[in-house]
Structure 1
Amino acid sequence: MKGIYLVTDQKACLGKPLGSVVLDAVKAGVSCVQLREKTSSTRLFLNKALDLKSILEPAKIPLIINDRVDIALAVKAAGVHLGQSDMPYEHARRLLGPGAVIGLSVEIWEDVQKAQDLDVDYLGVSPVFATPTKTDTKTPWGLGGLEKIRAYSCHPLVAIGGLDASNIKETIKAGADSIAVVSAICSAEDSFDATRQLVSLFEKNHIPQERRS
């Protein structure tokens, strides 16, 4: 899991259709898209997931469903992203199978320690910086916290929370394998150009983990 990881937020799209924002991001080189719908009904969530899958599948970009294992199963998504209060990893893996992508949010150090023995595909370090798009999280990790997790964890790290073009370089240097953004793409005046800038910054600054000193 590496690259620019788009996490959707319909409200952050400022009136633009979610599908058009995602399509722009796909054309500009985003590596993964997570559909996050905290308040939608199951049917609306399902319909949005099907719409996004029709955009992402031809481009071979994985669709990750936030929280809802049932939605992931229904649309045959690439996988799910789980929070600490969602379905436990072991149950999600049993339902989704060995080939599914399963990411897990870590908000406190105990979460990181418990995840070490889990065969998750990545850890979502949440939040790195304070962000208005996620108000139910713990104290931000900061770059020092991200560095500490990188030194300890065996898993790829997806950084999320307050990330944009101004802080991608330092976040990658601190150990992020992937940069997850919400408003930096969803709220951008031109989501294609915004994504392209983020992708360019990532490619310029990312060093494979095995080459890090």
Structure 2
Amino acid sequence: MKQNTDNLRVMNKLMASFLFLLFINHPLWAYKLTYKEQVYELYHRHLYAYPNRTWENLMYLEEALDADFANPLNALTRIETKEEWNKYQKLFDMHIHLKIVENYLILGNKFDKQKAYFYNAPYKDITLRSLDIAEKIYNFALPHWVEAVKLAKETENYPYLFLEGIQFWEDEAYRINHDELNYESIINKQINRLIRVREELNKMDSSTFPGPGENGIADPDKVGELNNLFKDWEGFIK
């Protein structure tokens, strides 16, 4: 799973670099995007402008995760001490990991299927391919959750520090450390349901559908379109 995740991150970074070149050459950007704070701001602008472009959001987040921090003077909250600076960095990366988890869940859901109906039988094979993609994407989220938990735990080393400017991140760490937020449970629930749907689909055969006078033939144009789409995604996540 780690190798798959690493491969996907490499691809994300290559695509993100291309997008950054486009943004950097725009008059709006008079300086090179170098620091986490800059990339994170770009992610936010992109999120509000194109909320459904989950894949691009993931690219920005992965790029932010790998970038360096700006000088504390340019932090997203007031920093006065080294202890505050250390906690800020942990909260920042924790938050990025959580956003990556959330976006993988959104992306996986686009290929997922909540329930298998008898009339899905003509599309059994293409639906199984879609479920395979969804499962792999859900699994990509797990390592990021593990890192988020680790970083949240480390913020407990600063029990008397509270960074008001990033209160939402502080709240996220609190919820993780008190078992109020558990994405591992959510991810596993999604995967377990997906496995049940796959089992139901695998039970289907030519007798499942159609009945008398019904058309049980899959639309070839629709299947062809999905095949092309899934082929691209299968190449990304193999």
TM score, norm. by length of structure 1: 0.25
Larger Rg: 2
Normalized per residue, the structure richer in helix is 2
TM score, norm. by length of structure 2: 0.24
